[in-house]
Amino acid sequence: LVIASATFADAGVYDVVVSNVLGAVVSAAATLEVRQIIPTVSAWPSASAIYRGESLEQAILSGGSASVAGSFAFLSPTDTPPVGTASHAVRFTPEDTTHYLAADGMVAVVVVSALEIEEVPEPVEASAGASFTLDASATGAEPRHFQWYRNGEPISGATNATLAFSDATLADTGLYQVLVTNALSLRLSAPTRVAVDSPKLIGWGGNDDGQLGDGSTDDRTAPVFIAPDAVTAVAGAAHSLFVTADGSLRTMGANASGQLGDGTTAPRSTPVAVLGGTNVVAVAAGAAHSLFVAEDGILRAMGANAGGQLGDGTTTPRSTPVAVPGGTNVVAVAAGAAHSLFVTADGALWAMGDNASGQLGDGTTTPRSTPVAVLGGSNVVAVAAGAAHSLFLTSNGAIWDMGGNDQGQLGDGSTTPRPTPVCIAQGIRSFAAGGTHSLLLDADGTLRATGANADGQLGDGTATPRPAPVTVVGGTNVAAFAAGAAHSLLLDFDGTLLATGANDQGQLGDGSTTPRLTPEPAEPVLIAGLASGPAASHVLAIGALVYDFVYVPLGDGTVVITGYVGEGGDIAIPEQLNGMAVAAIADEAFLGASGLVSVHIPATVTNIGA
């Protein structure tokens, strides 16, 4: 019996009957089993590359051949493999499943980053009135969307790969970043320095340790000139840092813990260079520690470290900068009293240091001497730190808070501390953290405040703490703002600087030491950037002084000149400053002024000191 091309119908028990004229016999039974066979795959297919975040089913299989007709497919099509090249199981399924089994094999799949910023803008130094562009490019899945930021705040309408400037002004000075997003991922660029019209560093307020860098330890109730060519600055409890147009990092003030990063613990009343502080693009100051990032994306830290806030795995203070393990591709930083936070280019948020109030957002109150991931800290575009609380903003405009909340500084309507982040608002453009209060800028330019208010730092006309955000009096059409230990400042788009809260060291910059429950005008100053800090009683600004003279109102419509901060030469004292007659020149008003050739004194002056 010959069976050709056996089928399952041929399966069964067979016997044979043999007969002749004498009779017949039956053979023993024989069982025929027809089995499915595994086809021969002579060539497995190749797979197209996919982006990180895409599943294997989006990798197109092409080519491949087998001994029978059929198709190839991944065994786990919904898997989303990491970036890199790896082999994944593929199954060949024959069309004739009656006679043939499936065959399994492995195919290499290349997974590439879903999004990368290829080109970031070069730093710019430009004259007033200049035209220039900031250009960025990215690779990854289409469509790609761009959003430019200045000093951490999105620029309205700046949604192209190129950000163009025409007739640039001092107000365009700052740090610029571009956020690139697609359906799979996001990337935030490192900041780019832009300096227009030779911006100056100016400051006012507390100066006990020389943190204003003007060569003295005298508090300043009105703005004074500190240094030329500055693009950004930050304030610690009693120290300050600023970055110049060429990326040099300079610092001044208290240094007992080495927070100035100059290799010593000696205080400095004039700016000194930070060791290794070149090509710097981001900086932050805690109570007594400092953080900075250079163009290489590496996070470096110095100063106090009792809580592990330097993130180097120890609690040893450092007077020279140390690289933070894991602190690579860093694009934004923030520092609280004794904790630190940083954002990497992929939008991940990390934290280290003191965590007694849950300010690290890792779900515990355990201090961390190395960086830990913040729970839910993804798609982050900006971060801020109060004394013992933290805030971060995600790319969709949601603001998240964690940590201490005894004064309602988290703004969630309670005074309960939060060791894991809570979302308190949507549609937020930018934000700032003071000692135990927070400021939030809505998309419509309205400034709101929450938290401690004993000194009037919320600017709502009361001294009542607020566990949920309230509108700051006059806080509409806000262009920039900052929060200090117990004071707040806001800049209108018309250029008026307003300040509210504690003023014992002149931190409101209005020429007095009178506290304010609502924002009141400070002394006139041209501002491109504004900074204070959660432990600071001083203020730093990037911009220019309206006047070259430091003065104090006498309360009768006149002022006394107490200092000179100009660049010298032949100068003329004006008859009026800020609408008040110049009536007197104080003792030693020009002491230390360099480059003076002559001084013309107006007839309004009736009293001249020594």
pLDDT of residue 230: 97
> pLDDT tens digits for 74-130?
999 999 999 999 999 999 999 999 889 999 999 999 999 889 999 889 999 999 999
| Helix (H/G/I), strand (E/B), else coil: 202 | strand
Query: What is the average pLDDT across 354-375?
Result: 98
**Domain end call among 194, 213, 244:** 194
pLDDT higher than threshold 90 for residue 346: yes
Question: Is there a contact between 353 and 362 (Cβ–Cβ < 8 Å)?
Answer: no
Give the closest residue to 508 by CA, choosing from 490, 526, 527, 528: 490
The whole-angstrom separation of Cα 73 and Cα 16 is 46
The whole-angstrom separation of Cα 77 and Cα 529 is 51
Task: Give the list of residues 6+ apart from residue 310 with CB closer than 8 angstroms, or none.
Answer: 289, 301, 302, 303, 318, 322, 324, 340, 352, 353
Q: Which two tokens stand for residue 513?
A: 């030491």
The whole-angstrom separation of Cα 295 and Cα 191 is 8
pLDDT higher than threshold 90 for residue 545: no
| Alpha helices (runs of H) in 297-407, residue ranges in sequence order | none
pLDDT higher than threshold 80 for residue 565: no
pLDDT higher than threshold 80 for residue 575: yes
Give the closest residue to 119 by CA, choosing from 132, 138, 133: 138
Beta bridge partners of 188: 179
pLDDT of residue 593: 79
Beta bridge partners of 529: 542
Q: Per residue, what are the HEC states of 232-290?
A: EEEECCCEEEEEECCCCEEEEECCCCCCCCCCCCCCEEEEEECCCCCCEEEEEECCCEE
pTM of the model: 0.85
**Domain end call among 86, 112, 138:** 112
pLDDT of residue 549: 85
**Does one domain contain both 371 and 330?**
yes
Q: Read out DSSP for 52-82? A: TT--GGGSPEE--EESSSEEEEESSTT--PP
pLDDT of residue 579: 85
The answer to whether residue 117 sits within a structural domain is no
Give the Cβ contact number of residue 229 at 10 Å. 16
Beta bridge partners of 438: 433, 450
pLDDT of residue 213: 96
Average pLDDT, the chain: 95
pLDDT of residue 548: 84
Q: Picking from 66-80, 185-199, 360-374, 547-561, which range would have the lowest pLDDT averaged per residue? A: 547-561
**Does one domain contain both 162 and 214?**
no
- Helix and strand numbers, DSSP H then E, in the chain: 0, 57
Query: What is the average pLDDT across 30-42?
Result: 90
The CATH number given to whatever domain includes residue 473 is 2.130.10.30
Q: How confident is the model at residue 376 (pLDDT cuts 50, 70, 90)?
A: very high
The answer to whether residue 417 sits within a structural domain is yes
The answer to whether residue 309 sits within a structural domain is yes
Q: Per residue, what are the HEC states of 521-569?
A: ECCCEEEEEEECCCCCCEEEEEEEECCCEEEEECCCCEEEEEEECCCCE
**Does one domain contain both 472 and 580?**
no
The answer to whether residue 423 sits within a structural domain is yes
Percentage of the chain beyond pLDDT 90 is 86
Q: Which two tokens stand for residue 163?
A: 């950000």
Task: Give the list of residues 6+ apart from residue 115 with CB closer than 8 angstroms, or none.
Answer: 51, 138, 139, 140, 141, 144, 180, 181, 182, 184, 185, 186, 187
**Does one domain contain both 513 and 387?**
yes
Buried b (16+ CB within 10 A) or exposed e, 208-226: bbbbbbbebebbbbbbbbb
**Does one domain contain both 376 and 437?**
yes
Q: Picking from 20-29, 119-128, 402-411, 555-564, which range would have the lowest pLDDT averaged per residue? A: 555-564
> pLDDT tens digits for 230-286?
999 999 999 999 999 999 999 999 999 999 999 999 999 999 999 999 999 999 999
**Does one domain contain both 468 and 341?**
yes
Say how many Å lie between the first and final Cα of the chain, rounded. Answer: 132
pLDDT higher than threshold 80 for residue 133: yes
| Helix (H/G/I), strand (E/B), else coil: 8 | helix
Domain count for the chain, please give it: 4
pLDDT of residue 471: 97
pLDDT of residue 329: 96
The answer to whether residue 327 sits within a structural domain is yes
The whole-angstrom separation of Cα 469 and Cα 566 is 41
> pLDDT tens digits for 482-494?
999 999 999 999 9
Is omega for the bond preceding 143 within 30 degrees of 0, making it cis? yes
pLDDT of residue 62: 96
Task: Give the list of residues 6+ apart from residue 25 with CB closer than 8 angstroms, or none.
Answer: 17, 18, 19
Task: Give the list of residues 6+ apart from residue 575 with CB closer than 8 angstroms, or none.
Answer: 581, 582, 602, 603, 604
Question: Is there a contact between 451 and 463 (Cβ–Cβ < 8 Å)?
Answer: no
**Does one domain contain both 401 and 514?**
yes
CA atoms within 13 A on the CB side of 545: 23
Give the closest residue to 496 by CA, choosing from 517, 515, 482, 477: 477
Query: What is the average pLDDT across 203-213?
Result: 97
The answer to whether residue 118 sits within a structural domain is no
pLDDT of residue 92: 97
pLDDT higher than threshold 80 for residue 567: no
Give the closest residue to 543 by CA, choosing from 160, 97, 242, 140: 242
Give the closest residue to 125 by CA, choosing from 273, 234, 228, 250: 228
The answer to whether residue 482 sits within a structural domain is yes
More confident call, 160 vs 546: 160
pLDDT higher than threshold 90 for residue 222: no
The answer to whether residue 120 sits within a structural domain is no
Query: What is the average pLDDT across 512-538?
Result: 95
Starting at the edge strand that comes first in sequence, how are the strands of the sheet with 497-501 ordered?
478-483, 487-492, 497-501, 516-521
H or E stretch covering 344: strand 339-344
Task: Give the list of residues 6+ apart from residue 582 with CB closer than 8 angstroms, or none.
Answer: 551, 558, 559, 560, 561, 573, 574, 575, 576, 602, 604, 605
**Does one domain contain both 228 and 315?**
yes
**Does one domain contain both 153 and 230?**
no
Tokens 């953290």 locate to 433
pLDDT of residue 190: 95
H or E stretch covering 415: none
**Domain end call among 194, 209, 226:** 194
**Does one domain contain both 593 and 536?**
no
Q: How confident is the model at residue 33 (pLDDT cuts 50, 70, 90)?
A: confident
Query: What is the average pLDDT across 376-399?
Result: 96
User: Which residue range is the domain that position 378 belongs to?
Assistant: 198-545
The CATH number given to whatever domain includes residue 181 is 2.60.40.10
Query: What is the average pLDDT across 321-335?
Result: 97
pLDDT higher than threshold 80 for residue 594: no
Buried b (16+ CB within 10 A) or exposed e, 48-61: eebbbbbebeebeb
**Does one domain contain both 380 and 426?**
yes
pLDDT of residue 243: 98
Give the closest residue to 389 by CA, choosing from 420, 368, 349: 420
**Does one domain contain both 502 and 481?**
yes
